Amino acid sequence: MAGSLPVVVHLYWVGALATACAAVLASYRLLTAFRVWVLRSGAVDVGPALGAWAVVTGATDGIGKAYAEELARRGMKVVLISRSKEKLDKVASEIREKYQVETKVIVADFGETQDIYTRIKAGLEGLEIGVLVNNVGISYAYPEYFLDLPDLDKTIDQMTNINILSVCKMTRLVLPGMLERSKGVVLNIASAAGAYPTPLLTLYSATKAFVDFFSQGLQAEYKSKGIIVQSVLPYFVATKMSKIRKPTFDKPSPETYVRAALGTVGLQSRTNGCIPHALIGWIFSLLPTSTVINFLMKTNKQIRARHMKKMKGN
């Protein structure tokens, strides 16, 4: 019995140290959250001081349109890039009338690669670009097993071209000008689905994980040169892509989400964008990765089953 006493004492101190470490970590997270979401201390004023123009891809709907409108509200001229000329002209007209700023549209289908970046480069020539929002993206129509995706080969090409290649190519076009002036912000819209492997959204999840990793690497490379690169990882936002029509507290409108997300620039190199999404991300971070993957698999199987049932009913 006496011989076991040192073991008990050892275990006590191990437990006490673990508890202390957990308390310190929890306190640090709380202080960080308070700084980011309440004080906003150190946040960058994303606006014309960075450069006269903002460039937004996928700018005619959802989060992209909300970024374009919010940056225009802050006084920035806006280049809108998307594949529909009709939609581009409509959004550009709305922004000009509402915010009294100059706009420019560039028609480009990021699902294709032939010559679009040559045309985009020509369209951006001579512009002082302070903000780039790499927002354009596509997801699945519904959760599905990889080999069962409709038009699989076409889907692979389109999703990698739109979700990955566009981010690399647009950054390649815009970053040199920012470096010349030693200031600029690149906002890469990833997804919370890229934070963990997401079964039944595997290809989408993997492309968004690339965006997240690409952003983190660029931030490390260029932060000392005055450039901010932020990875934005939203959960559900009420957009056409998510098929959510009515905003709620945890599924905000694009406008609400973007205003919150812009408030984190300079404070977080990776952000979930708004308080409810940050809370969800924090809860997931407490769980083992295998538990998260199993939960996502179960959830997406249920969504898939409801979709299949609906299709049969039609």
pLDDT on residue 250: 94
All domains in the chain, ordered by first residue: 44-313 (3.40.50.720)
In what helix (H) or strand (E) does residue 54 lie, and over which residues does it extend?
A: strand 53-57
Mean pLDDT per segment of 10 residues, for the chain of length 314 residues?
60 68 58 62 90 97 97 98 97 97 97 90 97 97 97 97 98 98 98 97 98 98 98 95 90 97 96 96 96 98 95 78
Q: Is 204 tagged catalytic? A: yes
CA 28, 26, 223: angle at the middle one, nearest 5?
35
Cβ pair 254, 63 in contact under 8 A = yes
pLDDT on residue 201: 98
Q: What are phi and psi of 289, to 5 degrees?
A: -55, -40
Tokens of 44: 């960058």
pLDDT on residue 28: 52
Phi-psi bin for 222: left (phi > 0), alpha (psi -120 to 50), beta?
alpha
Q: What is the pTM of this model?
A: 0.89
Among residues 140, 204, 235, 257, the one annotated as catalytic is 204
